Amino acid sequence: MIKQFGRFAALRGVDAKFEAGRLYVILGDNGAGKTTLLRALAGLAQPTKGKISILGKSPEQACREIGYMAHPSLLYDEMSGMENLRYFARLYDIPGDRRCQEVIRAVKLDPELRRQVGQYSHGMRQRMSLARAILHDPGILLLDEPFSNVDVDSAGEMVGLLTSMRNDGKTIFVVTHQAALLEGSADEFVRMQAGKIVDRTSRLGRELPGASTQ
């Protein structure tokens, strides 16, 4: 797959196959193409050349199976977390509040919290964003920098949640600069450089970016 923005090629020939039920950590320097790859998998960026097949379908056709967490929160700042999730639940035909409360508790937040998302700390916003991504119980999770500005304890809790989801058969892609957090949980570390996948290993080598980040 090639993805160009004008004359700039963000992805310069990514050719890869990912198995279901595994946790992949995508690593690479800034501008390596990690976010573009994730956006293409989510169906938000159309490949300039090549195609993506998710469970035999295009990303748009497989959208019910995909949960996407971007770097920005993808939440309305003027609404509470529960109100946000209630709205997004309607987009996926999820009735009632039960599932919303369930996922908010799963990310260790309080469903009764009336504070607007705009008044949340960055870490709380990240967790609420994760709750939105897993709301419709997707089989594939695409997470872009889920641990950025999250304290170590909260990040540990998020890793625990992702690990249990992977153990339940979900396929998870995590773009992060803090790969060390996922060292014990990840099945594969995928290293990108200049728009290409240059390395795939099952162990986090010390030379990989993010390996020493705690």
Partner 1 sequence: MSSLRSITLATLAKDIRLEWGSKDALNSMLFFSLLVVVIFSFSFDPNAEESRQIAGGLIWVAFLFAAVVALNQTWSRELRNQVLDAYRVSPAPANALFLAKALGNFLLVSILEGLMAPLFIIFYNLRALGPAWQLMPVALLGTWALVVNGTFFAAVSLRTRSREIMLPLLLFPISIPAVQSMVEATRIILAGDGSARFWIVLLLTYDVVFTTACLALFETVLQAE
Q: Which residues bind partner 1 (CB under 8 A)?
A: 42-46, 63-64, 66, 68, 70, 72-79, 87-88, 90-93, 132
Tokens representing residue 67 in the block? 């949960």
Output 44 or 106, the one with its CB closest to partner 1: 44
Output 74 or 106, the one with its CB closest to partner 1: 74
Number of H helices, E strands in the chain: 5, 8
Output 34 or 132, the one with its CB closest to partner 1: 132
Closest distance to partner 1 from the beta carbon of 24 (Å)? 19
Closest distance to partner 1 from the beta carbon of 78 (Å)? 5
Find the Cα–Cα–Cα–Cα dihedral 137, 138, 142, 144, rounded to 10°: -20
Closest distance to partner 1 from the beta carbon of 42 (Å)? 5
Tokens representing residue 136 in the block? 């419709």
The count of other CB atoms within 10 Å of the CB of residue 154 is: 18
Closest distance to partner 1 from the beta carbon of 194 (Å)? 21
Output 56 or 184, the one with its CB closest to partner 1: 56
d(CA 133, CA 184): 23
Under a CB-based contact definition with an 8 Å cutoff, are residues 169 and 143 in contact? no
